[in-house]
Structure 1
């Protein structure tokens, strides 16, 4: 092929190989305006599965708190309708204790640093500074 002037292929749907300077380009380099963040597999795994144990525990206790609240409310309404149904104080205490434990677990998760939040902070800093 004789020397041809460069052609513009932007905005086209290419269905066959394109020759660049007489050769097919098989692995072109992509240029981006900033340095990419190279994410290691370990960090990726921590981002996907890195929730703290306190958050998992708090979410589990949240389910118990919701269940205890529904049970307490149902028993309160039932005791107003039927005198045979007793509304007992331990149900309120169980709800309040579970609520307190849940709040403590969420607070520990929020204030204690963990690997996942550290990685996210590092990635954010990378993109803010570049």
Structure 2
């Protein structure tokens, strides 16, 4: 073992193994300036798969609203080009009903607490306070 003075390795980037006191460090200690957030498997699962029922339903209704709008617009244009194509009121009603239901689902999702948003709030508070 050589008697070299200790060297400082802070603030450097290494692309190859570094010998420290004549040996390669196999399990160095890594430190960060704040305590880490220890994410539990349950919390991770809720973050990945934890969307609320109302958000899922609202997204489905969004697809229906878009489809009904395209159909309604196509029938309206078609009725102007060809008088045999009729534009009926039920198409407007179906579009409006789907739009209202979608809006209600988004509002419910926004105001009803769910597990995913609760966990996200806890994680945000951890990093804001540390």
Common topology (TM > 0.5): yes
Q: Which runs of 5+ in 1 are unaligned?
A: none
Q: Give the whole-Å Cα distance in 2 for the aligned partners of 1:22 and 1:81.
A: 87
Counterpart residue number, 2:76 = 76
Count residues with an aligned counterpart. Answer: 128
* Bigger Cα displacement from structure 2, 34-43 vs 22-31: 22-31
1:85 lines up with 2:85 in the alignment? yes
User: Can you list the C-alpha shifts for 1:36-85, whole angstroms capped at 9, x where unaligned?
Assistant: 10001111111111111111111111011000001011111111111111
Q: CA deviation at 1:24?
A: 3.0
Counterpart residue number, 1:36 = 36
Counterpart residue number, 2:7 = 7
Q: Which runs of 5+ in 2 are unaligned?
A: none
Q: CA RMSD in A?
A: 1.4
Counterpart residue number, 2:111 = 111
TM-score using structure 2 length: 0.91
TM-score using structure 1 length: 0.91
* Bigger Cα displacement from structure 2, 111-120 vs 2-11: 2-11
Q: CA deviation at 1:22?
A: 4.0
